[in-house]
A and B are shown apart, each in its own frame.
Chain A
Amino acid sequence: MATRLRMAISGRLAALRDSDGAEPTFQPTPHGRRIQAPALRIGILVFVAYYLGARLGLALTSLPSPVSVLWPPNAILFAAMLVVPVNLWWVVIAAALPAHLIAELQSSVPVPMVTCWFISNVTEAMIGATCVRLLTRKPLTFNTLRDVSAFLCAAFVAAFVSSFLDSAFVALNEWGQSNYWEVWRKRLLSNVTASLTFIPLILTWRATSLGQLHLVGRARFTEAAVLLGGLVAVALLVFNSRITTSALPALIYLPLPFLLPFLLWAALRFGPVGASTSFAIVAFLVIWGTGHGMGPLVTRLPAENTVSVQVFLIFLGPALFWLAAALDERTRAEQSLRISDRRFQLVLQATQDAVYERDMITEDLWWSRNGLIQFGYAREQCPRRFSSSLDLVHPDDKERAIRSHAAAIESGEQVWGSEFRLRRNDGSYAHVREQGFIVRDPTGRPLQMVGSLTDITERHDTDELNQRLAQASRLTAMGELTASIAHEINQPMSAILSNVDAAEILLDAGDHGSVELRQILRDIRDDDLRASEVIRHIRGLANKREPDFDRFDINELVRAAVRLVEPTMRRRGVSIGAEFADVPFVNGDRIHVQQVLLNLLFNGMDAMAEIPARERRLGIATSKFESGKVMLSVRDRGHGIAPGQLDRIFDSFFTTKKNGMGLGLSIARSLVHLHGGRIWAENNPDSGATLRFTLAIDSRSPATSEAVSTSSWTTP
């Protein structure tokens, strides 16, 4: 289930990513001959567009002024440089130059002035295109607020900076009658207006896949046509008729109530493309009308008309583009959410698991459509509050389930898992695995927990059966051993008991010190000795080998022992960390020392059987101890040792384990003593106990172990 859930979530994320735009970054065009074809096409396109733009600009220049109301060629250069990769900008410039010359020279402007204008125009386009590339990493599509903002910023900066240059050129060429700052102001407004009008138009249409227009339904075409017609009609009525022309300053606001419905319609229903197109139409008609002395923006002075048109457009444009982008962003987000939500729902239906969402603030629970149906509950029976859901948990497991939730919340972890028994509607209990993740706000505060409940009753039963079988076979083996030991010890015990009974009878009969009574006492003593001999013998079984002393690397031995128990550790959910000090070789019997170490490791694991798997951690460390000794420590995080038992745990047949024989540590102690070492136990200050033993350093060679200073490693 975890995988499925994770898939659903990553699907959700992927959907969000997709919708955020396919993020096509600027593709560097491959160099070489293949450049030729696009370069030529770009050149022709730029040439034609620039020329037409210049003609249009001249046409809209209603006055003998060096600056028109709106100068399209700059915007076209700017747009071309945004579209074309940087290494092809030269093509754009090379194609624009002849178009510029042809268009300008027709209007009898001196060549130096024409050339200077070209330089300032190219400079503006390059500044603008560079700014946009710095501010966004993807082509402008005007469908995010960031896009629109970056564009507006770039367009203004480019016009602002390049206008200084342009004014200087005009002054140098002594063209026209305007002074430097007048030219600068006029050009700034004109070029910003042009950028607002043309660049969004070009780029949004470019981002629209025209090849798929035939897929658009008839209704949408009709809507577009109605919008277009309405917009043009209203704009014509407002700007291109004498009705609204009255030179009353208050009427400057007149266009808005008429135009706004159409502009909003365009932005809302047709997004950035609609907004840019309708804005361009309005811009064209307002300039045209005002230029011909019609509409509410007409004032007494023609120069003021130009400014009022430009200011009107400069305020209208950004607002419209921002609105369209915001709406578009929102629509896409909703769409992607809907898609991912549908995927999520499909996943939920496909899985048998019960999935819930816990709102951490209201503590409300939401259940997936399946709900707890597999546990026999109808949908409306699913608990609505987290607290009431706990009533379904087996009383013995409740505390654990709560703790697992609380621990996951407190630890700052993202995912958690636990297992418990859940009451079915029929009163029986199902074994359930719960897994989930926590949604947090940026400060780490948990907002939501999403969890899934998987019915693992069957698997659990199998596991339990296997466990019981394993336990049974272990117990059988153990049972046989205990039985034979029991027999060995029962014989003398039995004789002692019968002898005592016989003696009692004799004493009751008035016998005080007969030969037989003495014989009985002798026999009892013999049997007692015999019993302890049996125990000594059992302990001897464990170290039957003749010890084989040699020098060896204790760190190496620890590594080997850990490798040996690793599978067991994994199975029992214990992790281990080792810390190796740079210690000399020790002298001892490898097998005996390994036996001691294994014994301590198994003891540590046993000690932690009752604590949560997450905390089951063993630590092994080697270190120098006193003079001529090396110490090996095994630290667990288990229940520790009762203070009174710290010494007793090494006694034979002393055990705190359910199935323990109480021989392990006693054997370990005898082996350590055989090596002239010492073994003892300490309770850790925090939790669990540490068992330590010492071994003698090999006197022959002070060679140090292979461990390079202190290193540590862990295994899962």
Chain B
Amino acid sequence: MIHIVDDDRSVRTALARLLHNTGFDTRSYASAAEFLVADRDDTPSCILLDVGLPGMTGVELQAALAKKEGGLPIVFLTGRGDIDMGVRAMKAGAVDFLTKPVKRNVLLAAVNAALARDSQQHARQALRAIAESLTPRERGILELIAEGQSNKEIARALGIAPETVKSHVKNIFDKLSVEKRAQAIARAQSLGLLKTV
């Protein structure tokens, strides 16, 4: 999903038309505020942001988004070739800084780069969410599973009933979206949840 923020209706429309016909989902906003209040889904997204917006400028919006966790990658568009502003925007994490009128391949390259960055961010965030959903006890049990211990061995080691271990393991499997122990170990490894390999 590409969020196009530009106060110029015809620019907005033309960009949306081009990106849509290239195969992207787009949403258009006439101002920064409009973008901020809109609902967004979790699909990989980026913002195509005009620098010279009325009210909150593109750079200000960038700063505001940076404070929030998981800000979207931004590709700036400007009608004035302002180098200083470009440098500042890039330092603040923008993917690219393009001047209008922008060539198609340049625009598409920037948008693709932004979306790729968002996908990575998205994946990392999801994994972090999973890791954070495990309780300390579940993480301990997961460690022991990775060591190859059976439920009984785990129950003995932790001094709890095997039935309790079993229900923990089931919860872990659910949270990691796996069904077998081997799968759980592989997932745990990929999430970096294990202290030792």
Contacts and interface: CB of A to CB of B under 8 A. Distances in A.
Interface of A: 483-484, 486-488, 490-499, 501-502, 505-506, 509, 516, 520, 523, 526-527, 530
B15 A498 contact: yes
A526 B11 CA distance: 12
Contacts of A494: 11, 14, 77, 79, 100-102
A495 B10 contact: yes
- Per DSSP, chain A at the interface is helix
B68 interface: no
Contact of A502 (B10, B17, B80): B17
B178 to A, nearest CB: 43
Given A491-B10, A498-B18, A501-B18, 20 more contacts: A483-B81, A486-B79, A486-B80, A487-B52, A487-B80, A494-B79, A494-B101, A494-B102, A495-B13, A495-B101, A497-B14, A498-B14, A498-B15, A498-B102, A498-B107, A501-B104, A502-B14, A502-B20, A502-B21, A505-B22
B82 interface: yes
B8 interface: yes
B79 A497 contact: no
Contact of B80 (A483, A492, A496, A498): A483
B21 A506 contact: yes
A477 to B, nearest CB: 15
A566 to B, nearest CB: 37
Contacts of B104: 497-498, 501
A492 B101 CA distance: 9
A490 B15 CA distance: 14
Interface of B: 8, 10-11, 13-15, 17-18, 20-22, 52, 77, 79-82, 99-104, 107
Given A490-B101, A493-B101, A499 B18 contact: yes
Contacts of A495: 8, 10-11, 13-14, 101
20 contacts: A483-B82, A486-B80, A488-B79, A490-B79, A490-B100, A491-B100, A493-B101, A494-B14, A494-B100, A495-B13, A496-B14, A498-B11, A498-B107, A499-B17, A502-B14, A502-B18, A502-B21, A505-B18, A505-B21, A505-B22
Contacts of A527: 10
Contact of B17 (A484, A488, A520, A530): A520
A523 B80 contact: no
Contacts of B52: 487
Nearest to B20: A502
4 smallest CB-CB distances across A and B, nearest first, come from A494-B100, A487-B79, A498-B14, A494-B101
A277 B99 CA distance: 105
A683 B95 CA distance: 54
Nearest to B77: A494
A516 B16 CA distance: 12
Given A497-B103, A498-B102, A492 B10 contact: yes
A549 to B, nearest CB: 39
Contact of B14 (A483, A486, A523, A530): A523
Contacts of B99: 490
Nearest to A486: B80
B22 A497 contact: no
Contacts of B103: 497
A486 B101 CA distance: 11
B10 A497 contact: no
Nearest to A516: B17
A486 B100 CA distance: 10
Contacts of B17: 498-499, 502, 516, 520
A369 B60 CA distance: 70
A487 B101 CA distance: 10
Nearest to B99: A490
